[in-house]
Structures are given as C-alpha cells and as structure tokens.
Amino acid sequence: MPGITREEVAHLARLARLELKDEELEHFAGQLDDIIGAVARVSEVADQDVPPTSHPLPLTNVMRADEVRPSLTPEQALNGAPAQEQQRFKVPQILGED
C-alpha cells in the first residue's frame, strides 16, 4: 500500500486551515499511514457474518420507569420561598436583562 505523502498531508492541512511545519508534515504523514494501515487490517478481518455494532457489549437501560407519583403542590413547594411570582420562585436579576 502506498504511503501518505507530505503533499497529501499539506493538502489536508490546507483544507482544515492548519499551518504545519515541514517536520510536522513528515510526522503526520507517518501517523496517518499507520492509521490507514490499521483500518485496512480491521477491514480484512471483518467478514459478512459479523454484524456491525456500535458497542462491543450489550447495553441495557439502567433508568427506572417514569411513573407518576404524588409530589408537592405548587403552594407547598413555594411555601418556604423568600419571594414568589405567578407560582414560580422569584430570584434576583443577575444578567441585567428584562
């Protein structure tokens, strides 16, 4: 497999609007070549009978069921509030907005 060239890395850097030095171009060319080689090896191993997955282990939902349960009324919730307005907690203005 042909390696990634400095020119290809420079082209990618221009597309990404990155300014790379000459030694960085060489360094990244080697790294990108290694990455592409690793992906190619994985592609060789993957077979038609291996289903694509997003996670190697089965995932289960650990959240409890969403059930309606008794809770505080608006009056009870606002009972201890220092200030309230229209059944809401009233807090001091902090952003200078209306």
Rounded Cα gap, residues 73 and 75, in angstroms: 5
The Cα-based distances of 21 to 17, 26, 70, 96 in angstroms read 13, 9, 65, 47
Enumerate the β-bridge partners of residue 25.
none
76: which 2 tokens? 């009870």
- Number of continuous H segments (helices) and E segments (strands) in the chain: 3, 2
The tens digit of pLDDT for each residue in 7-18 reads 999 999 999 999
CATH topology for 6-45? Histone, subunit A (1.10.20)
Q: How many CA atoms are closer than 13 Å to the CA of 37, on its beta-carbon side?
A: 10
What pLDDT shows up at residue 50? 74
What pLDDT shows up at residue 2? 59
Residue 97 has pLDDT above 80, yes or no: no
Please check whether residue 71 is in contact with residue 32, taking contact to mean a CB–CB distance below 8 angstroms. Answer: no
